[in-house]
């Protein structure tokens, strides 16, 4: 018999890829994996949940509203925006030691830092010390780009303009005398914001860089005078300014104001009576906002947040319950008997 040589130039290649025979792992949702998996995840979640819950429980938080809506409040007198340089007092007492380090926050509610045009209304170049943008801020800053006389505003934009300007002083009442609790305002902003993102122009004195510019209209003093005592906390790298400029994601937010870490208060706030003196400057009532102060300590999981712990507990328990259900169903409908 003649052996025919077949021409096979068009024969496709025999590779695992072209023949769709790539080796593969083909997992299946089998009872052996799913049910123990649910149990394990459930137990792990309950474990994490308990840890989170306890941690959260151990965090102390003291929150005080000082908007001055209620007439009984001392700050009621300051709630009229026409009243300038008003100070009010907020008194509270601690029955036990408020463990330190204690962080002192101010909080705002119904305040939309998350609004798009509000958030966009700043000039990154200007804030990184680019002098060209001192003269011509970007248009996103409008209407806080130029003042009525066409002088450029530095720092420009709504975000900078609306910087929070209430100031606080905390006194412990010891035997009827007020003892100032020292605040630490260093390092309350992100390291990257302080060192990289925001920079003052390299002009000394700093004031000269601001020649021909005007301060934001709401500000009482120009940027180069935010902290005249400490040049490393002045201008765009002022910690309070940095904290404000890191805009909040949600309409209710709190921002770090000071830390209480020094002197007698390094271990925390001892039990006793305290008085907080507030220089009430920031108007929020017009838009139904609220202002508050918060004293809080932190844990490994950050500030106090009950939700995460509870959520883990609930989800963990649900997993365990679900695994039971699946086990029962599996026992009843053992898959598949037929075939």
Partner 1 sequence: MGSLLSRLGLECGRKAVKEEERHLRANDRELNLSYKYSDNAIKTSKYNIFTFLPLNLFEQFQRLANAYFLFLLCLQSIPEVSSLPWYTTVVPLVLVLSMTMAKDGSDDMNRHRCDKQVNNRQVEVLVEGELQSEKWMDVQVGDIVKLENNQFVTADLLLLSSSEPLNLVYIETAELDGETNLKVKQALTVTGKLEDSVEKLANFNGEVRCEPPNNRLDKFTGTLTLKGETYSLDNERILLRGCTLRNTQWCFGLVIFGGPDTKLMQNCGRTTFKRTSIDRLMNVLVLSIFGFLMIMCLILAIGNGIWEYQEGSKFAAFLPKGVNAPFSAFLTFWSYVIILNTVVPISLYVSVEIIRLGNSFYINWDRKMYYPKNDTPAEARTTTLNEELGQIKYIFSDKTGTLTQNVMTFNKCSINGKAYGELLDFSGQRVEINEKTEKVDFSWNNLADPKFCFHDNSLVEVVREGNPEVQAFFRLLSLCHTVMPEEKKEGELYYQAQSPDEGALVTAARNFGFVFRSRTPESITVVEMGELVTYELLAVLDFNNVRKRMSVIVRSPEGKLTLYCKGADTIIFERLNPSCSNLTEVTTLHLNEFAGEGLRTLALAYKDIDPEYMEDWKLRHHVANTAMDEREEKLDALYEEIEKGLLLLGSTAVEDKLQDGVPQTIEQLSKADIKIWVLTGDKQETAENIGYSCNMLREEMNEVFIVSANTSEEVRKELQTARRKMTPDGTEEPTVKKSRSGLFCLQKTETVADEPVNGEYAMVINGHSLAFALEKDMEIELLRTACMCQTVICCRVTPLQKAQVVELVKKYKQAVTLAIGDGANDVSMIKAAHIGVGISGQEGMQAVLSSDYSFAQFRYLQRLLLVHGRWSYLRMCKFLRYFFYKNFTFTFVHFWYGFFCGFSAQTVFDEWFITLFNLVYTALPVLSLSLFDQDVNDWWSFQYPQLYTPGQLNQYFSKRAFVYTVLHSGYSSLVLFFIPWAAMYDTVRDDGKEIVDYQSFALLAQTCLLIAVSIQLGLDTHYWTAMNQFFLWGSLSVYFAVIFTMYSNGMFLTLTSSFPFIGTARNSLNQPNVWLTMLLTSVLCVLPVVAYRFLRILLWPTINDKVRYKVRQDKVLPPTPRRVQARRTSTRRSGYAFSHAQGYGDLVTSGKFLRRTPKSRPALFSQTDSPLAQTQPQFYRTISEREEPPLSP
Q: Are 214 and 152 in contact (CB under 8 A)?
A: yes
Window 225 to 264, contacts with partner 1 (CB under 8 A): 243, 246-256, 259
Which window, 68-76, 183-191, 223-231, 269-277, contacts partner 1 (CB under 8 A)? 183-191
Say which residue the tokens 């940095």 belong to: 242
* Contact window for partner 1 (CB under 8 A) among 110-118, 169-177, 206-214, 268-276: 110-118
Does 135 bind partner 1 (CB under 8 A)? Our answer is no
Asked if residue 315 binds partner 1 (CB under 8 A), the reply is yes
Q: Is 6 in the site for partner 1 (CB under 8 A)?
A: yes
From candidates 113, 145, 233, 234, binder to partner 1 by CB under 8 A: 113
CA distance 257 to 27: 53
Length of the chain: 339
What is d(CA 265, CA 272) in angstroms, rounded to the nearest whole number? Answer: 12
Does residue 302 belong to the site contacting partner 1 (CB under 8 A)?
yes
Task: Tell me which residue of 49, 3, 59 sits closest to 297, measured CA to CA.
Answer: 59
Is there binding between residue 38 and partner 1 (CB under 8 A)? Answer: yes
Question: Using CA atoms, how far apart are residues 233 and 332, in angstroms rounded to an integer?
Answer: 70
- Asked if 36 touches partner 1 (CB under 8 A), the answer is no
Cα–Cα distance between 119 and 247 in angstroms, integer?
A: 7
Alpha carbon separation from 182 to 262, 271, 293 (Å, rounded)? 6, 16, 16
Specify whether the CB–CB gap between 90 and 276 falls below 8 A. Answer: yes
HSE, side-chain direction, 13 A CA sphere, residue 43: 5
Total residues binding partner 1 (CB under 8 A): 103
SS3 of residue 254 by DSSP: strand
Q: Is 100 in the site for partner 1 (CB under 8 A)?
A: no
**Piece in contact with partner 1 (CB under 8 A), picked from 12-20, 207-215, 222-230, 263-271:** 12-20
Residue 320, phi then psi, degrees to nearest 5: -65, -45
Per-residue tokens: 209 = 């860089």
The residue within the footprint of partner 1, chosen from 168, 305, 317, 324 (CB under 8 A), is 305
Q: Decide: 315 and 103 in contact? Cβ < 8 Å.
A: no
Interface pick for partner 1 out of 72, 85, 95, 117 (rule CB under 8 A): 117
For residue 317, the minimal CB distance to partner 1 (Å) is: 13
Q: Should residue 57 be labelled a site residue for partner 1 when binding is judged by CB under 8 A?
A: no
Cβ at position 176, least distance to partner 1 in Å: 32
Which region among 84-92, 225-233, 267-275, 324-332 touches partner 1 (by CB under 8 A)? 324-332
181, 189, 209, 293: which one binds partner 1 (CB under 8 A) = 189
Does position 165 interact with partner 1 (CB under 8 A)? The reply is: no
- Part of the chain binding partner 1 (CB under 8 A), chosen from 32-40, 69-77, 85-93, 272-280: 32-40
Distance in Å, CB of 15 to partner 1, minimum: 9
By CB under 8 A, name the one of 71, 85, 177, 333 that touches partner 1.
Answer: 333
13 CB burial (10 A radius; 0-12, 13-18, 19+): exposed
Q: Does 329 bind partner 1 (CB under 8 A)?
A: yes
């Amino acid at each position: 018999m003649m052996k025919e040589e077949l021409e096979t130039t068009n024969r496709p290649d025999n590779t695992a890829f072209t023949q769709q025979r790539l080796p593969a792992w083909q997992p299946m949702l089998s009872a052996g994996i799913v049910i123990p998996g649910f149990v394990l995840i459930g137990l792990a979640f309950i474990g994490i949940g308990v840890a989170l819950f306890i941690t959260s429980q151990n965090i102390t938080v003291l929150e005080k509203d000082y908007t001055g809506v209620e007439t009984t409040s001392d700050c009621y007198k300051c709630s009229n925006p026409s009243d300038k340089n008003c100070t009010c007092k907020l008194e509270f007492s601690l029955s036990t030691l408020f463990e330190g380090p204690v962080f002192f926050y101010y909080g705002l509610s119904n305040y939309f830092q998350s609004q798009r045009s509000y958030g966009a209304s700043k000039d990154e170049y200007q804030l990184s010390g680019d002098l060209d943008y001192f003269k011509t801020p970007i248009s996103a800053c409008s209407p806080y780009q130029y003042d009525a006389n066409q002088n450029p505003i530095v720092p420009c934009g709504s975000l900078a303009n609306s910087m929070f300007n209430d100031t606080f002083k905390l006194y412990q009442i010891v035997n009827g005398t007020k003892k100032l609790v020292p605040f630490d305002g260093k390092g309350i902003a992100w390291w990257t914001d302080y060192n990289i993102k925001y920079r003052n122009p390299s002009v000394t004195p700093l004031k000269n860089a601001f020649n021909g510019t005007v301060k934001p209209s709401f500000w009482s003093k120009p940027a180069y005078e935010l902290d005249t005592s400490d040049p490393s906390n002045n201008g765009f790298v002022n910690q309070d300014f940095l904290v404000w400029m890191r805009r909040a994601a949600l309409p209710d937010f709190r921002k770090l104001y000071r830390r209480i870490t020094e002197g007698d208060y390094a271990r925390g706030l001892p039990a006793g009576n305290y008085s907080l003196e507030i220089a009430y400057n920031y108007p929020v009532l017009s838009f139904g906002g609220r202002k508050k102060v918060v004293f809080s300590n932190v844990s490994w999981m950050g500030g106090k947040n009950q939700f995460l712990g509870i959520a883990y507990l609930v989800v963990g328990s649900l997993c365990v319950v679900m695994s039971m259900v699946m086990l029962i169903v599996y026992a009843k409908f053992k898959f598949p008997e037929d075939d």
